[in-house]
Every structure is written in structure tokens, then in C-alpha cells.
Structure 1
Amino acid sequence: MNKQNVIFLTIAFFLISCGGSEKKTAKNEVVESEISTNELEKGEQLYRAKCMNCHMIKGGGIEKVFPPLANSDYLKKNREDAIKMVKFGSNKPIKVNGVKYNSLMPASGLTDKELVAVFNYILNSWGNDYGQVSLEEVEAVKR
């Protein structure tokens, strides 16, 4: 009888452990999803406040004046430089989708956390599918 109880308790413990793990994973996925949605909403608000006047509501920019962010080959290939430009400002010319732009890019005045939110919004809006930027990546960008 004692041996049967030990076997039963071992099997019960194993089954309970497996079930709890699945619930925890599902719960974590929901939390991560909510954080991503909140971050994208915050990024959109920051974009509208800080970027939209030049880059337009749908990220199309103004040809030969302000570069597009939507479907931008520059953003896709030069992520660190793009972060540096937004973080510190820039007056260097760039080429986006074959068009040269030489307008001043003022420093955004955003915190690193705000830069993460606005970049993740830009990288995933208007047909862009350029992944995500992390806080560590933004913090690592220096002048």
C-alpha cells in the first residue's frame, strides 16, 4: 500500500507540474502581447507629436525634403545610424530609396525608452516589417 501511494503521488506531482507550466507560459504570452500593444500606442503618440510634421502621418515624408520612413531602404539597412540621427540630430546627407536628402534632422529630445517606443512604431507601421529595437540597442548608440 505504501509503495502504491508513493507511485500515485509521484505521477500526480508530475502531471500537476506539467499543467502549471502551460498556464504560466500562456499567461506570459498575454502580458508580452499587452506590453507590445501599449508600446506601439505610445510610439504612435510620440510619432504624431515629434515626427509627423516632417515625415507625414503615413510616414511618406516630402520628396527631396524629408525622407520617407514607410518602405525606407535606409531604415532597413542603417538602423544604428537612424537611431543616432533621431537621438542626437544630424546635418549629414543621406540617400533613401535612391533619393538624396540633405535636410537638418533635429535631435528628438526623447528619452531612450521613448526612442524605443517610437522606433518600434516606425519599424512596424505603413507596411514596414523591420523587427524591433531594444532599450539596450538604443542605449548603446553614442555620438
Structure 2
Amino acid sequence: MVFFLTSCVGSDKKPAKKEVVSAEIPASEMENGAQLYRAKCMNCHMKTGSGIEKFYPPLANSDYLKKHTEDAIKMVKFGSNKPIKVNGIKYNSLMPASGLTDKELVAVFNYILNSWGNNYGQVSLEQIEAVER
């Protein structure tokens, strides 16, 4: 019996990959993010995150935001004039630097990443701080 147990320990099977589940965003952070969004983002990206086609990209159901979150953070943090493609449509409008602090960027990004049907996870202060020009 001992032989059987020890022979199973050295299996070539890889351990199952652990699923990473992010903690729920506190309501206070979501509200703070919503307030920042209304103050800094809503004029171009609209109340529902729909943007204005060919001028300001949508944030709701955005394939770009889902796949390129760090690039999106860089654009918001530092501004950008580079063209991007969102949901198959090219956008070439200027994105001015937001002027938000890193903590404010965490709140607004977590709001955007989890609003209007988006379920794109969360960003941390460390992630925002690590984004450089």
C-alpha cells in the first residue's frame, strides 16, 4: 500500500491552473469612479460609455479596452494622439491627459471596466503607477 501512494506522488500531470477571482469593487470606489467619469470623461464618451462613432471611441463593450487596458491607462494618464481601432472602427481623435492622480485613475478605470455590461476585471494602484510614457 505504501508503494502505491508514493508512486502516485511523482505524477507527470501538471497541477490544475488556479482560477483568479478578483474581489468585488467596493461601492464607494465605484461611486467615486462614477463621479470622476462624469466630470472628466462623459463629455466625449457619453453617459452610457457609447462614445461618438468615428470621433470618440466607446468604452462600453470595447474590444480595445478589454485587450489593451494598459495602453488605455497610458492614454488617459499622459494623453495620446495615436490612432486606435475599437470594435472595428478607427479613431484618430486627440485624447488629452486627464490630470487625474494615480488613485483617481484606479477609481475611474475600475468604474469603466465594470460598467455598461463590461466585466473586464480591475486595476490596482501598483498597475497604474507602473505605467510610463
Q: Aligned partners of 1:66 and 1:134: how far apart in 2?
A: 26
The corresponding residue for 1:135 is: 125
1:76-126 Cα distance to aligned partner (Å, 9 max, x none): 000110000000000000000000000000000000000000000000000
Runs (5+) with no aligned partner, structure 2: 1-22
**Which protein is richer in helix relative to its size?**
1
* Corresponding position of 1:98: 88
- Please list every run of at least 4 consecutive aligned residues from structure 1 whose deviation after the TM superposition is greater than 2 angstroms: none
Q: Tell me the TM-score normalised to structure 2 length.
A: 0.82
Per the alignment, in what secondary structure is the counterpart of residue 105 of structure 1? coil
Alpha-carbon shift at residue 141 of structure 1 (Å): 0.1
CA distance in 1, matches of 2:27, 2:99: 23
1:37 aligns with 2:27: yes
- Displacement of 1:40 in angstroms is 0.3
Mapped to 2, the partners of 1:114 and 1:129 lie a distance apart of: 20
Deviation of 1:36 (Å) = 1.1
Match for residue 112 of structure 1 among 99, 102, 108: 102
Larger Rg: 1
1:46 paired to 2:36:
yes
Query: What is the aligned length?
Result: 111
- Give me the TM-score of the superposition, normalised by structure 1: 0.76
Query: Percent of pairs identical after alignment?
Result: 82
Q: Does the residue aligned with 2:26 lie in a helix, a strand or coil?
A: helix
Instruction: Give 1:131 deviation, angstroms.
Output: 0.4
Partner of 2:11: none
The 5 Å alignment of 1:56-135 reads: 56-135=46-125
